[in-house]
Amino acid sequence: MRILQLMPTLAYGDAVGNDALAIHRILNNRGYETKIYAEIIDKRIPREIADPVCRMETDGDDVIIYHMSTGSGLNAGFAKMKGRKVMIYHNITPSRFFKGYNPALEKLCRDGRYALQYLSDEVDYALADSEYNAGELRALKYKCPVDVMPILLSFEDYQREAYAGAVKEYRDGKTNVIFTGRIAPNKKQEDVINAFYHYQKYYNEESRLILLGSYFNMEAYYERLKDYAERLPVKNVVFTGHVSFEEMLCCYRAADLFLCMSEHEGFCVPLVEAMYFRIPIVAYDSSAIGYTLGGSGILLKDKNPLEAAGVMDRILKDEALRKQILAGQDKRLQDFGKERTERLFMEKIEGFLRNEGLLKDR
Amino acid sequence: MEEREEKKDLGPDTGEKMENPGADETIDIESIMDEIRAEIKRKGYKEKEVRFEDINISYADDLNVDDLEFSMDVYKKQLLLLNIQKSVNTNKPLYADSRAGKLEIFFKKAFRKCARFYVEPLVSGQNEYNETNAMLLCQLYAAMKRVEELETKVDRLENMVEQLSGRPAETDNEGARQ
């Protein structure tokens, strides 16, 4: 019996890719024969870990873990494979967010959602990154058991040194508000800009907004955001674009507050990153945001930019409140600790294997 | 602006003991929001009326046709390229991806022969259309060159009129007939 992972793209450094690599490491350490297969594999990933999907062969005893996060021909291919099928559902952005910006991406997301429905009776077990994701599968009447399993995160790399010079550039006395995420319409960076505009206008002119994330394939949305920022007008809005890991660390280390107005997230790893870097979080309560925050941070029920600005100012000026928020975030961060989540993952997978009669004495 | 305290990078992997003062105290968010709303009302803060929905989506430069400027040189260059690219060729070289190279190529050739009855009429139709298009654009180029020559002639004649009459040349026919 082998436990194989399958995904359309194994990228280096993104949440889904990191999740797959972490699972590979855990299974390997536990003595399982395991490999990752993907249509596209980042060339930095060693061949002994991942192979092209055209080389994949399975038999009835194998367990295939499929990372479901987008439209792909693999979605249907997965259903036809021999072996037990486990889906890890990372969520697929609803296509409506990309309308008018990127027709190819819009179609990919729509096709992904069709596939998600199709797979409702083809999968033997489903793990969802969040309660929100699990809820979607249950709403689609998935026949198999559905459990919640947070994405596997490791923060060892975050202890690296950031470029000291770059940190200095942002530590110039201005208050730094940050949001991390691809420049994408579902993440609603326009609402972040709007709230920040009102914060800068009414509370603190000496402030900067850092929008940390690539705008590749979202150039039309990016241009619209820039136009919007100019029209308001708001000063000191930085679109970093794609940055290196060290530059990302700089931004986090210089940030005073994390502001999220996203309307669709399957988990939102940047929230956990903000917790790790002890940045107080203000976030709009949508999709999986509430689950990931787990009662920590400040959740906004609506997007009134004046109120959001007021909350930001209160947190930044009220040291006791800020400490209380950070304490809550520290506590929530423990739930995503490496040892805990790895143990949880193995419990779930081995529970499934036991039920299927595949777990031999180890 | 007071100096922000240096952050400790606490995380579950560091093994450091976390400080959790007040970790179990629930933050009364509603109460904070009520205070903020009252402050907004008291100070008369207003939401800016610039809506994101009013910002038009502008696409990449090469799709924004309104900004295009005509260049005869660019047009001529593209026309030459078009005439090189216009024919679709069905006889592309075949390569082997696997170790069984010769066998793979044999099967690919066989498959190509079998599919020929369907593919070649389609390609032939496409090539005819491309040829027609290319000829049309060549004619358009010839027409534009003619227009350029006539524009040069008109400019020259207008200058002559201006010099002869001592006043700027009329551009409409009524003025010219006086």
CB atoms within 10 A of CB B58: 16
CB contact under 8 A, A175 and B1: yes
Q: How far apart are CA B128 and CA B134, in angstroms?
A: 10
Q: What is the CA radius of gyration of chain B?
A: 37
Residues in A touching B39 (Cβ below 8 Å): 310
Give which of A155, A215, A251 to mutate to test B binding, by max B Cβ within 10 Å.
Answer: A155
What's the pLDDT band for B153 if we cut at 50, 70, 90? very high
Q: Is B41 exposed, middle or buried (0-12, 13-18, 19+ CB in 10 A)?
A: exposed
Asked if A262 and A188 count as a contact pair (C-beta separation under 8 A), the reply is yes
pLDDT at A300: 97
Task: Give me the DSSP letters along chain B.
Answer: -PPPPPPP---TTT-PPPP-TTTTSPP-HHHHHHHHHHHHHHHT-------GGGSPP---GGG-GGG----HHHHHHHHHHHHHH----S-------SS-HHHHHHHHHHHHHHHHHHHHHHHHHHHHHHHHHHHHHHHHHHHHHHHHHHHHHHHHHHHHHHHHHSSPPP-SHHHHH-
What 3-state class would DSSP assign to A8? strand
Beta A146-148 vs A63-68: how paired, if at all? unpaired
Question: How far apart are the CA of B164 and the nearest CA of chain A, in angstroms?
Answer: 53
Q: How far apart are CA A233 and CA A51, in angstroms?
A: 50
Give which of B7, B30, B39, B43 to mutate to test A binding, by max A Cβ within 10 Å.
Answer: B7
Residues in B touching A317 (Cβ below 8 Å): none
Q: What is the 3-state secondary structure (H, E, C) of A32-54?
A: CEEEEEEEEECCCCCCCCEEEHH
- Cβ-count burial A306-322 (b if 16+ within 10 Å, e if not): bbbbbbbbbbbeeeebb
Q: How far apart are CA A98 and CA A81, in angstroms?
A: 31
Q: Domains in chain A, start-ordered, CATH in brackets?
A: 2-153+337-355 (3.40.50.2000), 157-334 (3.40.50.2000)
pLDDT at A48: 87
Nearest CA in chain A to B14: A156
pLDDT at A200: 97
Residues in B touching A155 (Cβ below 8 Å): 11-13
- Please give the single-letter amino acid code of residue B7: K
- State which H helix or E strand residue A306 sits in: helix A305-317
pLDDT at A164: 58
- The maximal CA–CA distance of chain A, rounded, in angstroms, is 66
Question: How far apart are the CA of B63 and the nearest CA of chain A, in angstroms?
Answer: 11
- Please give the single-letter amino acid code of residue B167: R
B6 has a chain A CB within 8 A of its CB = no
**Average pLDDT by stretches of 10, chain A with 362 residues:** 94 89 94 93 87 89 95 88 95 94 89 90 95 96 95 84 66 94 96 98 97 92 95 95 88 96 96 96 97 96 96 97 96 94 95 86 53
pLDDT at B168: 65
Q: How far apart are CA B52 and CA A157, in angstroms?
A: 37
> Complex ipTM, two decimals?
0.79
Question: How far apart are the CA of B41 and the nearest CA of chain A, in angstroms?
Answer: 10
CB contact under 8 A, A101 and B57: yes
Asked if A289 and A264 count as a contact pair (C-beta separation under 8 A), the reply is no
CB atoms within 10 A of CB B46: 11
What is the per-residue pLDDT across B9-20, written as a single tens digit (0 to 9) for each?
444 333 333 344
What 3-state class would DSSP assign to A95? helix
What is the per-residue pLDDT across B46-100, written as a single tens digit (0 to 9) for each?
998 899 988 887 665 444 556 667 888 888 878 877 877 788 878 777 777 777 7
Cross-sheet strand order for the sheet of A84-89: A50-52, A33-41, A2-10, A63-68, A84-89, A125-128, A146-148
Q: How far apart are CA A32 and CA A272, in angstroms?
A: 29
Nearest to A240 by CA among A195, A208, A199, A277: A208
pLDDT at B13: 38
Nearest to A279 by CA among A258, A296, A265, A249: A258
Picking from B8, B23, B50, the nearest residue to A327 by CB comes out as: B23
CB contact under 8 A, A278 and B29: no
pLDDT at A290: 96
Alpha-carbon dihedral angle through residues B112, B116, B117, B122, given to the nearest 10 degrees: 130
